[in-house]
Amino acid sequence: MGLWRLANWKYSPQQTVQLLDQLLELGVTTFDLADIYGDYRCEELFGEALKLKPELRDKMEIVSKCGIKLVSDQNTYALNHYDSGAAHVTAAAESSLAKMNIEQLDLLLLHRPDPLMDADELAAALDRLVNEGKVRAVGVSNFLPHQFELLQSRLSRPLVVNQIEVSLLHSAPLFDGQLDYCQRERVISMAWSPFAGGDLFVGSGEASLRVQACMEELAQELDMEPQQLALAWLLKHPAKMVPVLGSGRLARLRSGIAALERELPREAWFRLLRAARGRDVD
């Protein structure tokens, strides 16, 4: 469950608790945040819900990300930029813990590759956070294989996740080595924006319209809803991607989760790929 829109939903802490309870009952146990989400407010809103019902913490895995500094009323940055320095990463992780009122993050990800990343400095900071018990495991987000390898070469423990953008309308990771690398190294690949920001269903671009038409046909043939098709397409890939869903509507989440029980036929998978790319495979 991705909580980047939590501030937009304007839920009360009680409503957030209710959503978390319902998701846990459905088997959704991993909750994805970042320090910058909701103009730096989402972690605090999540923490307010956990304060109301702290026993929920033991039933879930909490993921957060850091490394991006956004201009905001919450700070004095002159421009948006990256910071993978030890001081910022350490302070960001500790701030996340305080905002969410928890003692340990299950997973801390570096949000974006930083061209000024000092791999030795960053690795030492990440190792220290784990050794101090503030972080259980570490990973990255949006890293290419060579960037992943650089940081991994300096760490004393494995990077366990790379969270990357993957969807029918962003299928490049299937062909540019990102998912191959995750498979080779047995790294979990979390797929963010699995519905291409909604363009899979309401987009007006040529690729969106082709995919929508194909999904309409397959929905009739396979008795599956369009979002189930989009998720089943990702889940069929042998990298065993973990899609990050971001809807606050329980009915939509329940429908998406049902995709776990469906197997997309191979030819249907390639029909969707053809629609997305506008051509058959060679």
Catalytic positions, please? 37
In whole angstroms, what is the distance from residue 203 CA to residue 193 CA?
A: 14
What's the token pair of residue 39?
Answer: 């103009």
User: Residue 148 CA to chain centroid, in angstroms?
Assistant: 17
Q: Among 259, 261, 267, which residue's Cα sits nearest to residue 221?
A: 267
* Contact in structure between 269 and 262 (CB atoms under 8 Å): no
Q: DSSP assignment, residue 46?
A: H
Cβ neighbour number for residue 17 with a 10 Å cutoff: 18
User: Hey, what are 74's tokens?
Assistant: 């919450």
C-alpha atoms less than 13 angstroms from C-alpha of 271 in its C-beta half-sphere: 16
Q: For residues 214 and 208, what is the distance between their CA atoms, to the nearest angstrom?
A: 10
Residue 115 · residue 144 · CB < 8 Å: no
Half-sphere exposure of 173 (CA within 13 A, CB side): 28
